[in-house]
Chains A and B, each alone.
Chain A
Amino acid sequence: MNKISIQNYSLQYSDGTESLRNISLEIPANQITVVFGPAGGGKSSLLRVLNRLNDLADVIHQEGNVYLDSVDILSNKLDVINLRRQVGMVFARPVVLPFSIRQNLTYGLEVAGEKDTERLNYAVENSLHKAALWEEVKDRLDDPAIALSGGQQQRLCLARVLALEPEVILLDEPTSGLDPISTGKVEASLQDLKRDYTIILVPHSVQQAARTADLAVFLLQGELVETARGEVMFTNPQDQRTEDYIQGRFG
């Protein structure tokens, strides 16, 4: 059963260029779907469609359908706040809020009305474990989050999303500021997380795409060129453009 279904979706920002062109894509539950391609291909735009964060950008035209569990998420009547609790997002550049580490983690729950301290504390610890950050910050949860290193901030942003227990997690280059060891940790925890979540990942390299993808999607200048299982895509791509891109990066 597919978690998300995107049908003939097109998106145009106010600058007039069509950032996504007639995209159709089925995203399976409990797998890692990797969306990769060159810069400006529309990867971030696609993610921002799925939690309706594009509502804030100056989109002048969009058409097509997007369903989450067969709910039309582009509908005007949709409860957007609720959608964003189901579909969490980690941004390409980590944005920690100007609070303490703990408050960054509880913020999403608190705005949703959670007041029970025990549950909040559990969420803090649990999400930090999942994001492989607990050991590094457990003694300074009340320090300002800006005091963390860039890589730690990025994992905090991941933890912050996990604390909300969403169904879908959108990850926009979640390891772009991390060293190989932390990257390894995050990738390992993603493999664990996919048991509970549907994960959509924009990787920061083709290598990472190949390492993590269950399903891989190649986006080139707003066009979906090819969709394939990870093992197939990176060994035996069907489209010449996909092959060129993968080859170019490898060698």
Chain B
Amino acid sequence: MSIFQNFINSSHSKREFLITLFIKIAGYSAIVFVGMIFIFLLLEGLPAVQKVNLTSLVSSRWYPIEDYFGILPLIGGSIIITLGATLIAVPFGIGSAVYLSEIAPHWVRELLKPLVEILGGLPSVVLGFLGMLVLSPFLRKLLDLPTGLTAFTGAILLGGIAIPTVMSVAEDALDAVPRSYRDASLAMGATEWQTIWRVTVPAARSGVLTAIMLGIGRAIGETMTVMMVTGNAPILPRGIGNLFSPVRTMTATIAAEMGEVANGSVHYHVLFLIGIVLFLISLAVNITASTVIFRQKKRQERILS
């Protein structure tokens, strides 16, 4: 009897062991891959700091052919476009999520949600085309600008690209809020709007925050569209007025110049340095997001214990 039991136990534990091992390897490999990418970036990017002195790197002139490697205009370009896109994507994305999950009749929601999600999957080249051929001439005429290829055009397009991401994730979060919260709120005499803003959205806030962060991530990492519609002039944005002049982002610079650069040259290393900066920025965005969410989690855990 006990031998038999042992046999079962050991065969079970062997299987458990193998499964655990497999999952462990899968988990660690993800970390190893990211680590390796980062090391590669560091190895290729850090030499730039030795070859170009720091003052030149943080200057505002990017003109690699004459050895001007100021990366500030590129960072500034990325930030202004991402900010603009976020300002568009967050209110529209969350607004439409609230509409779909709380207000729209059932059939509208069933129809619109997959539709918007399909829009979110459109290749960015296609949107870039739209931006070049439709949006930018339209804005040029409307605002009477010398060129329609501006930071503003880029921000609008990127905002549009990020809306489906924000909407879809935020809608899932709102949908997960228990029906009973809404009933309780309404039964106490709250109106539908009061219920949405005071109960449903706050209850879904960690999911809504994730939606915003994913939207920002989508905007900051986008390459093709911004390359096509922002004019790509490496001018350091110094104020709100620069919103309506051309800018160049970090991603667009890397994508456009990496193909033509001599392997191992200063220019080559600086492009990798830009990659490191981009990596650090998205890391910072993610860490901010997860600490905010984590803090909420911790509080909930304290409640439950």
Chain B 73-84 against A: per-residue CB contact (8 Å), 1 yes, 0 no? 000000000000
Beta-carbon nearest neighbor of B199 in chain A: A97
When chains A and B are docked, how far (Å) is the Cα of A95 from the Cα of B182?
10
Name the B residues within 8 Å of A111 (CB-CB): 185, 188-191, 194, 198
Chain B 134-172 against A: per-residue CB contact (8 Å), 1 yes, 0 no? 000000000000000000000000000000000000000
Name the A residues within 8 Å of B188 (CB-CB): 84-85, 88, 107-108, 111, 160-161, 164
Name the A residues within 8 Å of B184 (CB-CB): 91, 95, 97, 157
When chains A and B are docked, how far (Å) is the Cα of A82 from the Cα of B188?
10
Name the A residues within 8 Å of B189 (CB-CB): 81-82, 84-85, 108, 111-112, 164
Q: Does A1 contact B (CB under 8 A)?
A: no
Query: Taking A81-B191, A91-B180, A93-B180 as contacts, is the C-beta distance between A53 and B303 under 8 angstroms?
Result: no
When chains A and B are docked, how far (Å) is the Cα of A161 from the Cα of B189?
10
Instruction: Determine chain B's interface SS by DSSP, over half rule.
Output: helix
We find that the number of chain B residues with CB closer than 8 angstroms to chain A is 21
Q: Which of A69-110 contact B (CB under 8 A)?
A: 81-82, 84-85, 88-89, 91, 93, 95, 97-98, 107-108
Q: Does B183 contact A (CB under 8 A)?
A: yes
Cβ contact within 8 Å between B190 and A97: no
Q: Does A56 contact B (CB under 8 A)?
A: yes
Cβ contact within 8 Å between A56 and B185: no
Instruction: From the candidates B183, B194, B303, name the one contacting A146 in the complex (CB within 8 A).
Output: B303
When chains A and B are docked, how far (Å) is the Cα of A161 from the Cα of B187?
9
When chains A and B are docked, how far (Å) is the Cα of A90 from the Cα of B212?
36
Q: Does B203 contact A (CB under 8 A)?
A: yes
Beta-carbon nearest neighbor of A161 in chain B: B188
Query: Taking A53-B183, A97-B181, A98-B203 as contacts, is the C-beta distance between A108 and B303 under 8 angstroms?
Result: no
Q: Does A144 contact B (CB under 8 A)?
A: yes
**Central interface residue in A81, A88, A91, by most chain B CB within 10 Å:** A81
When chains A and B are docked, how far (Å) is the Cα of A82 from the Cα of B190?
9
When chains A and B are docked, how far (Å) is the Cα of A93 from the Cα of B180?
9
Cβ contact within 8 Å between B194 and A95: no
Name the B residues within 8 Å of A51 (CB-CB): 187
Contacts beyond the supplied A88-B187, A97-B181, A157-B184: 13 A-B pairs with Cβ under 8 Å: A56-B183, A81-B189, A81-B191, A82-B189, A95-B184, A97-B185, A98-B202, A107-B188, A107-B198, A111-B188, A111-B198, A146-B303, A164-B188
Q: Which residues of A are interface residues toward B (Cβ below 8 A)?
A: 51, 53, 56, 81-82, 84-85, 88-89, 91, 93, 95, 97-98, 107-108, 111-112, 144, 146-147, 157, 160-161, 164
19 residue pairs A–B, Cβ–Cβ below 8 Å = A51-B187, A81-B189, A81-B191, A82-B189, A84-B186, A85-B189, A88-B187, A91-B180, A91-B183, A93-B180, A95-B184, A107-B188, A111-B198, A112-B189, A144-B299, A146-B303, A146-B304, A161-B188, A164-B188
Q: Which residues of B are interface residues toward A (Cβ below 8 A)?
A: 178, 180-191, 194, 198-199, 202-203, 299, 303-304
